[in-house]
Copies of this chain bind each other. A is one copy, B any other.
Amino acid sequence: MVIPTQYPVMVIGGAEDKVGERKILTNFFNSAGGTQAVIGIVPCASQEPSVVGDRYRRIFTQLGVKDVHVLDIRRPRECDEDRWLELLDRCAGIFLSGGDQVRLFNFIQGSKFITTLKKRLKTGTLVVAGTSAGAAVMGEKMISGGSSGESPNRSLVDLMDGLGIIPELLVDQHFHNRNRMARLLSAIAANPDRLGIGIDEDTCAAFKGDGTFQVIGKGSVTIIDPRELTHTNYRDSGDNSPLSLHDLRVHILSEGDQYDCRCRSVCTPNLEMVSKL
């Protein structure tokens, strides 16, 4: 069944509203097909998958989804068991919960499950949303940890491979809330071929099928675009030395703003929406 996928991929900065207007979750629900959708929750980033899974199950049920499943995958590669692959085939929406992105990666990487998920994304028959850890895994490179309160430097960020759902992204989440600008800058110094995207809590970069995304939610989405980078001392600098990054293009985007990842530019702002903010 081909369904209308308004936002095939939704990258959420964590702590999305779960009790009020639930704007982001409602957008996911609608993108997946609304009340008729089959929705699968993948809570395996969390150490408490049944608690987290149940919470989202209740929310989507309240929104009117009749067919919600928790894909409570408990071990690496368990996702390739027939019961989970069959469920994935039935789902129109997959929601990746928060928790630990390394755990999520280790459970799913290299599986038939992730290959199938990506194939279905390409054919426009699936919507995938990820929040917090579920957002972190979106790129081919992933921030697995780090800290804040220092000049950007190599030791400020831990990097590893991600699931590559949108390969070019280098995602950071809880972004301004946890003061992660220096950490994302450090990650971009290590990977100047990627596009840095820092997403605040209760905020979502909602990707359309055409490589553009729209900002939904309460905070901002920060783009760090190193395509015009003229210099970095990354290769020559020690682990704790301050990094240089010359000529970054940075955008702070808020609700209604649209960004085109292909041509790396902000689309004409929706002035009507802006004036309502």
Interface residues of A (CB under 8 A from B): 148-152, 176-179, 181-182, 185, 200, 203, 218-220, 224, 230-231, 233, 236-238, 241-255, 257, 266, 269, 274-275, 277
Whether the pair A244, B269 counts as a contact (CB closer than 8 A) is: yes
Whether the pair A277, B149 counts as a contact (CB closer than 8 A) is: no
Whether the pair A266, B246 counts as a contact (CB closer than 8 A) is: yes
User: How far, in angstroms, from A218 to B237 measured CA to CA in the complex?
Assistant: 13
User: How far, in angstroms, from A126 to B233 measured CA to CA in the complex?
Assistant: 34
Whether the pair B269, A231 counts as a contact (CB closer than 8 A) is: yes
User: How far, in angstroms, from A275 to B233 measured CA to CA in the complex?
Assistant: 8
Whether the pair B200, A219 counts as a contact (CB closer than 8 A) is: no
Whether the pair A241, B266 counts as a contact (CB closer than 8 A) is: no
Name, among A149, A178, A250, A266, the residue most crowded by chain B CB atoms within 10 Å (CB to CB). Answer: A250
User: How far, in angstroms, from A269 to B246 measured CA to CA in the complex?
Assistant: 9
A179-B181, A245-B250, A246-B253 given; 20 more Cβ-contact pairs under 8 Å: A148-B176, A149-B179, A150-B176, A151-B219, A152-B220, A181-B182, A200-B242, A219-B242, A230-B266, A231-B269, A233-B269, A236-B274, A236-B277, A237-B277, A238-B277, A243-B252, A243-B254, A247-B249, A247-B266, A249-B250
User: How far, in angstroms, from A247 to B253 measured CA to CA in the complex?
Assistant: 10
